[in-house]
A and B are shown apart, each in its own frame.
Chain A
Amino acid sequence: MDAFIFDHVRTPRGKGRSDGGLHQITPTQLAAQTLMALRERSHLDTALIEDVILGCVSPIGEQGANLGRIAAMAARYSESVPGQQLNRFCASALEAVNLGAALVKSAEAQAVVAGGVESMSRVALGSDGGAWYCDPQVTWNSYYAPQGVGADLIATLDGYSREDVDSFALESQRRAAHAWEQGYFDRSVVPVRDVIGEVVLARDEHLRPRTTMADLAKLKAAFVTHGETFGFDAVALARYPHVEAVNHVHTGGNSSGIVDGAAAVLIGNEAFGKATGLKPRARIKGFCSIGSEPTIMLTGPAPCSQRLLRKLGMNATDIDLYEINEAFAAVALRFMREMQIDHERTNVNGGAIALGHPLGATGAMILGTVLDELERRDLSTGLVTLCAAAGMATATVIERV
């Protein structure tokens, strides 16, 4: 049985700081507003929804205790709709979509809503602790090093210079600004409102469209202290002993932005479309997740995508548009090099370097971005992939119908 995407929405991405546009909005409200938007845009009878699956990477405090169900209640979905929260780190929202698609494909559900949320300004990254960082046995035996050190290690191994990663970042900024100017994001971004109904944010606010190479070059490498002072370069070299030293090239300017945001995707089968009169926009053709070497952490997207393409009997050239989450510039550069694809077909409207990366929501956001763009360009297939912490990656292929 096929699983179709009927609609998707996302919030704009607010700066993940106390002066960010979404800082006063709780994560429950953020997620609930995307659920409400889906309902209203499609005049949806929410009793038809059989699960709300939300990704969230720091599920603690006000993001704790199952935001899936809580957001569904807050959005006044039918009380018959259960909810769940999942954590595949940065690929959580795409994993939520994949899990929803699996339920539909296996005919265990007719329709689900999947997406994710992260208010990084209100619930700080890493505030949920975890054995991976803090249990000495675990961090020791897994050679834990922070992602930024992994990204710098990719740059070191592949020989990406500071100029290479900065150029990539500049292009991400240019494309994102262009997409906003041309209104490519308009149909899917729903403004976020406060409790009295006023719009607090209608557009992504992390972009720096006027940034230049000279501006980027001024930024300090962000992971020098982690690497050299805290000792994580030594951890990386223990795994990669042929490397003389980690070349720290990533900065706040060529890494994904810390932002707040939420996204939701309406997924259902053919019968659901018939029952509601909604028109399916794309088929979720296939998906998979993998694990890979956890110290470098961020090299999973290419092997994950290759595995998925093999599974689907496809080649890299069969994909019209790619979205690789721009966790760090080197991640995207490594992905394109390994997949032998060029930047012209990849992240055509920019990515997380310009727009920001609300951890638990990004997967659903970039899935929506590629679908909108396939429609705008009248192309057929897209592949979405994200690297996820601890060496994981998730990928999904969609095809317009």
Chain B
Amino acid sequence: MSSIELNVDSNGLAVLAIQASEQTLQPLTRAVRAELAAAIQRIGNDADIKGVLIQLTAAAATQPPDELLSLAERGISAVAARDIAREWQRTLRQLETLGKPVAAVLNGSVLGGALDLALACHWRVMHNDAGTVLGFPEIQMGLLPWGGGTQRLPRLIGVKAALALLSKGKPINAAEASRLGIVNGVGTADETIDHARAWLATHAEGVQPWDRKGFRVPGGAGPLAEFANETFMIGAAQLRKQVNENQPAPLALMSCVYEGTIAGFDAGLAIESNYFGKLMSEPVTGVLMRATRNIARAKAGRRPVDPKASAPVKKIGVLGAGMMGAGIAHIAAAAQMRVVLLDVTQSAADAGKARIANSLAQQGRNVPIAPEQAAAVLDRIQPTDGYERLDGCDLIVEAVFEDRQLKSQVLQRAEARVSDAALVASNTSTLPISGLAQTVRRPANFIGLHFFSPVEKMPLLEIIRGRDTSQATLDRALALAAMLGKTPIVVNDAPGFFTTRVFSAFIDEGACMLAEGIEPALIENAAKQAGMPVGPLAQFDEVSQELSWRIIRQALADGLDARFTRQAAAGVIQKMMELNRRGRRAGGGFYEYPQGAKKFLWPALREHFATQARQPGVAELQSRLLTIQALEAARCVEEGVIEDVQDADVGSILGIGFPRWTGGVLSYIDFIGAQRFVERCSQFALRFGPRYQPSAWLRARAAAGESFHPRVQAS
């Protein structure tokens, strides 16, 4: 069925209805664009057509288009990709230069190509309902607009405002679009059509501002514009701070606007299509698009869940009112659940609630929330020291200290108060779920829910399926994630599960580098420049050397094998313990934490870990820090901890800040190429230790040319 309908009325008004149902950020697929080109051709050739009314309706969208993803993944030359953009640009250029007035009525998610089309019209009116937004989200998936958006938007609203919108990629509503001057009017569905018809009735001609003689970009362009230093000079530095060298799209976008707005409009289009072509030809672009798609799918809940499991959780009991417990209570209350926040004493429980009040107040400073809304959240939270208060809870989440006996004890006491149907969960980040399950009465109802700190902000929920966890329990956990607004991944039970294990590999590698005599600042900068949010030594201090040391000793006591005893880093951790550098909360670790000032590397570190005279290049350190994590993730696949590679990729990006440009831990291996990755690991194993040794399983996969992700095919 055609998604484009063209009807010409007796007054010579062509009504072009475009229904974009594709739920991607480029709703106008190749087929739609071709139909549109044909329709424009017809309009141009038909002398009886005096004006054009475009009714554009686009579905809500969150994912990158398969068309571009498959091209980028298969590999496309800059010239070929440039030509795709040129064709689309030509279609829109033709529309705006027909000489006939073109008005657009915008409805739904007018994103990407749909907005390109809207901007190529001479007049725009937008629905003011909540579902209608417009924007260029391309940048969020590593792309830039390629239908002329980088040229039309700055010529319409000025370079500074346009770049702010283009570089964030966040859609805006009708009020904001109108304030910025992107649309000429807003209104209800009926009003918008009338407005557009009225405008068409009074305009015999359609000429874009940039096609009029003497046109100047509003507010100026180029290096002498008042905003130039702020927008381009500081803008580029900010970019380096945010994406380091790892993402080409933001710089390309800035260049399109800078170079294009100094030149004439058609040269501007050529500049845009060239940068688009170049971007599409870079491998990292496909990887970024895939990461965007996978995260969007994971957030939307890509696993089918039994509808029976989706019954809303009404009352939740949180055991332990510390930082994690309070965070879980907070998001549950914000999701309309009644919360019992339990701790050993009433005052400890009250302190937990006070922590939530504090967090709400802080949230109010950044993103203002209504005081009555904050009060309602707090009202739903009942702090207590009495287990009897848990009566009627349909979910229990345990978030007490990481101590097996303590956890068993509180879980047993809580379980005794709730019905057989209740879901019982532990928020442990390290202790095996199957072991804890042995101490509860209903192991089938028991599951691991690993939240990340700070719970209010971190988007990930790592769901750990124990040996005895039932499918129904898993379904309910997935439904719960959706209620709490968290993006779930599902992993199987093993010490450290998935994220903690990969994260430990990262921080341990930092410790190993330190022991090798690498400059501590170089280690930290290498990690940050690779795209990790924080360096491994700083992360170590947060986790604390003390906790790591305890975990290692526990693992040894439990007789766990070398995968879990972190022997490569144990020496450094032990030395730090002996030096009484036990972590941030204990007063300092690899860093010093002066009151009221920025942390800095502990100066004595270089005495205790003598630095080599010859330091490695930053690129090698980056490669090591990413490789060791990817290798650990591959082991998790081999051991069955990870069943679905998307869980690993999404979990690594959202949970531990693995850089998005890699696509995630396993995508990184595909990106490098399995064979090359294995060779690199073997080399590193020779130089830095057996922790890099790739398993026979991984070597066999690499030899067979197997990738973790299948390539996406164009639909």
Contact = CB atoms under 8 A, between A and B. Distances in A.
Contacts of A134: 222-223, 228-229, 232-233, 258
A231 B238 contact: yes
B237 A136 contact: no
A231 B181 CA distance: 31
Interface string B316-350: 00000000000000000000000000000000000
Contacts of A128: 224
B10 interface: no
Interface string A315-350: 000000000000000000000000000000000000
A241 interface: yes
B240 A140 contact: yes
Contacts of A232: 237
B251 A241 contact: no
B21 interface: no
Interface string A3-31: 00000000000000000000000000000
A106 B187 CA distance: 77
Interface string B343-382: 0000000000000000000000000000000000000000
Interface string A212-237: 00000000000000000011101101
B622 to A, nearest CB: 10
Contact of A244 (B254, B255, B526, B600): B600
Contacts of A241: 521-522, 525-526, 529, 618
Contact of A129 (B222, B235, B519): B222
A134 B221 CA distance: 11
A242 B606 CA distance: 13
A55 to B, nearest CB: 21
A231 B224 contact: no
Contacts of A126: 229
Contacts of B255: 135-137
B581 to A, nearest CB: 17
Interface string B211-235: 0000000000011100011001111
A245 B600 CA distance: 9
Interface string B225-265: 00011001111111111001100000100110011000000
A135 to B, nearest CB: 6
B615 interface: yes
A232 B239 CA distance: 10
A125 to B, nearest CB: 11
Contacts of A243: 521, 525
Given A135-B232, A231-B240, A238-B244, A129 B251 contact: no
Nearest to A145: B237
A238 B619 CA distance: 11
Contacts of A131: 223
Contact of A130 (B223, B251, B254): B223
B68 to A, nearest CB: 23
Contact of A242 (B222, B258, B615): B615
A144 interface: yes
A271 B236 CA distance: 54
B524 interface: yes
A184 interface: no
B228 A129 contact: yes
A139 interface: yes
Nearest to A141: B251
Contacts of B240: 140, 143, 231, 234-235, 238
A235 B232 contact: no
Contacts of B529: 237-238, 241
B15 interface: no
Interface string A268-298: 0000000000000000000000000000000
A133 B239 contact: no
A205 to B, nearest CB: 29
Interface in B176-222: 222
Most buried by B among A128, A130, A131, A230: A230
Given A241-B529, A245-B600, A133 B229 contact: yes
Interface string B501-523: 00000000000000000011110
B552 interface: no
Nearest to A230: B234
A234 B237 contact: yes
Contacts of B238: 230-231
Contact of A230 (B223, B237, B525): B237
A135 B525 contact: no
B224 A129 contact: yes
A172 to B, nearest CB: 30
B8 interface: no
Given A231-B238, A244-B524, A133 B233 contact: yes
Interface string A238-267: 100111110000000000000000000000
A241 to B, nearest CB: 4
Contacts of A238: 240, 244-245, 529
Contacts of A230: 234, 237-238
A238 B521 CA distance: 12
B61 interface: no
Interface string A88-107: 00000000000000000000
18 contacts: A126-B229, A130-B223, A135-B255, A136-B236, A136-B254, A137-B255, A139-B233, A140-B236, A144-B233, A231-B237, A234-B237, A234-B240, A234-B241, A241-B618, A242-B521, A242-B522, A244-B600, A244-B601
Given A134-B258, A238-B244, A238-B245, 17 more contacts: A126-B229, A133-B232, A134-B222, A135-B255, A136-B258, A137-B255, A139-B232, A139-B233, A144-B237, A230-B237, A230-B238, A231-B239, A232-B237, A235-B237, A237-B525, A238-B240, A244-B525
